[in-house]
Amino acid sequence: MPKYALVVMSDPGEPNPGMQGRMVHAMSAARDLRAAGQDASLWFHGIGVMWLSAMDSRMDPFTRHYGKLFDEVKDLIGGACEFCAVKRFGAGPSAESLGVTLLGGGDEHHSIAALIADGHDVTIF
């Protein structure tokens, strides 16, 4: 059975329908793949780790509306890049609050190549 890694790298910053759409589609794909009996996981890299902060705080209409979907797929989160979450974007506390595993160590990025080496078919959102 194939394994799917859905990597979120979109910026949740200023309200942006394109970036918000990428997050919705990543979460929806994870939910739908699971419903179809597939092995799917969500990963957060780069500025995409800021979605963890956004979903943890639910401080805007988008995250309040899609928070239920996030909660539905939260158990599919494979991890987040530790370097990006902690050293670059300050999302470490939210990752901890949400129970998201930080990967890659504090001095280097978690590698998408590692996901591929582990047999995942990677899609970047």
Contacts of 81 (CB under 8 A, 6+ apart): 44, 45, 46, 49, 102, 103, 104, 109, 110
Comparing CA positions, the residue from 102, 20, 108 lying closest to residue 69 is: 20
How far apart are alpha carbons 125 and 123 in whole angstroms? 7
Provide the pLDDT for residue 106.
Answer: 78
Provide the pLDDT for residue 105.
Answer: 86
Domain carrying residue 84? 3-124
Share of the chain above pLDDT 90, in %: 92
Whether residue 29 has pLDDT greater than 90 = yes
Reported as a single tens digit per residue, the pLDDT across 58-67 is 999 999 999 9
How far apart are alpha carbons 100 and 122 in whole angstroms? 19
Mean pLDDT for all residues in the chain: 96
When pLDDT is cut at 50, 70 and 90, the band that residue 13 belongs to is confident
Provide the pLDDT for residue 83.
Answer: 97
Provide the pLDDT for residue 109.
Answer: 94
How far apart are alpha carbons 124 and 65 in whole angstroms? 23
Whether residue 14 has pLDDT greater than 80 = no
Domain count for the chain, please give it: 1
Q: What is the CATH number of the domain that holds 23?
A: 3.40.1260.10
Whether residue 97 has pLDDT greater than 80 = yes
pTM summary value = 0.95
Comparing CA positions, the residue from 87, 13, 89 lying closest to residue 49 is: 89
Residue 62 one-letter amino acid: F
Provide the pLDDT for residue 57.
Answer: 97
Locate the DSSP E strands across 1-125: 3-8, 39-44, 77-81, 102-103, 120-124
Chain-centre distance for alpha carbon 5: 10
